Amino acid sequence: MVDGASAQILDGTATAAAIKDELRERVVALKAKGVVPGLGTVLVGSDPGSQWYVAGKHRDCAEVGIESIRRDLPEDVTQAELDAVLDELNNDPSCTGYIVQLPLPKHLDTDRVLELIDPAKDADGLHPTNLGRLLLNVNDPIETSLPCTPRGVIELVERHGISWKGKNVVVVGRGITVGRAIGPLLTRREYNATVTLTHTGTVDLDAHLRQADVIVAAAGVPGIVTASAVKPGAVVLDVGVSRVTDPETGKSRIAGDVADDVASVASWISPNPGGVGPMTRALLLKNVVDSAERQLP
């Protein structure tokens, strides 16, 4: 965008609401065939952000008719006690899929926890088997869950009539939930994008960004993507979530990875909040419904 114009909005709130409407109908059809989808959540500790996300997941489930099971554990839960809860959910037939809210307190072993989730019940798509299947491309068509945020980013763009085909995509951030997982998806023949994975150690990040038709900013570094590094007309997705304290008000707020002035250069931009976050939640529900449908005889 140029001449004082502002980018169009990739509206995650409205798109997530449309996805939930579709899921509601699919849940009704599943129940008519005797399959009741149920999402479990495991929350350790009392981090306000994590509590808010988990409460949101249960509200979302109620909205579309998915049953939900909640396991809230104290901050000082032992690894053995947590392992036992995972074992219980793995063996609970009413729980068709579940997630462990991340991050976990430091004394717990996140890799072990993700490995203990039954891959068939891994609603986040973060079990090593499921991430491996994504890399090996055996999960195409989808047979087990794919990570929710990458799926959310892809659908948010497509549902605004924008094709990924032939696009040069620059991803910023190498985390497991977004950065590392989105490349293997977007390079599938179905999307045919070309993906460059950059990160906070990349030399001359801005030079990479200037080549991008689409930027997926998921580094968790407030304002790392600035207008001067964005090609006019690029599509920009802000996935970053950092909590910062406003020096003027003293209040805490969410800061994304994309600086405000990028809206004057990009053609489309996802707001934050209201962009990728609601899509992450909607795609979690979609993972649960997809996996319940795979259980149909």
Ligand X SMILES: Nc1nc2c(c(=O)[nH]1)N[C@@H](CN(C=O)c1ccc(C(=O)N[C@@H](CCC(=O)O)C(=O)O)cc1)CN2
Residue 119 within binding range of ligand X, rule CB under 6 A: no
The span from the CA of 26 to the CA of 19, in Å, is 11
Minimum gap (Å) between residue 2 Cβ and ligand X? 28
- Binding-site member from 131, 278, 287, 292 for ligand X (CB under 6 A): 278
210 labeled binding residue: no
Which part of the chain contacts ligand X (CB under 6 A), choosing from 30-38, 98-106, 153-161, 194-202? 98-106
Look up 101 and say whether it is catalytic: yes
Given 11, 122, 124, 213, which residue is catalytic? Answer: 124
Residue 148 within binding range of ligand X, rule CB under 6 A: yes
275 labeled binding residue: no
Residue 281 within binding range of ligand X, rule CB under 6 A: yes
Which part of the chain contacts ligand X (CB under 6 A), choosing from 97-105, 108-116, 182-190, 198-206? 97-105
- Binding-site member from 36, 73, 102, 116 for ligand X (CB under 6 A): 102
Residue 274 within binding range of ligand X, rule CB under 6 A: yes
Q: Which is nearer to ligand X, 20 or 210 (CB)?
A: 20
Residue 175 within binding range of ligand X, rule CB under 6 A: no
The span from the CA of 146 to the CA of 137, in Å, is 11
Residue 145 within binding range of ligand X, rule CB under 6 A: no
Strands 8-9 and 268-269: parallel
Residue 149 within binding range of ligand X, rule CB under 6 A: yes
Q: Which is nearer to ligand X, 205 or 277 (CB)?
A: 277
Residue 155 within binding range of ligand X, rule CB under 6 A: no
Look up 211 and say whether it is catalytic: no
User: Can you give the binding site for ligand X, defined by CB under 6 A?
Assistant: 52-53, 99-102, 124, 148-149, 177, 241, 254, 272-274, 277-278, 280-281
Could you give the residue numbers annotated as active site? 57, 101, 124
Binding residues for NADP(+), as ranges, are 173-175, 241
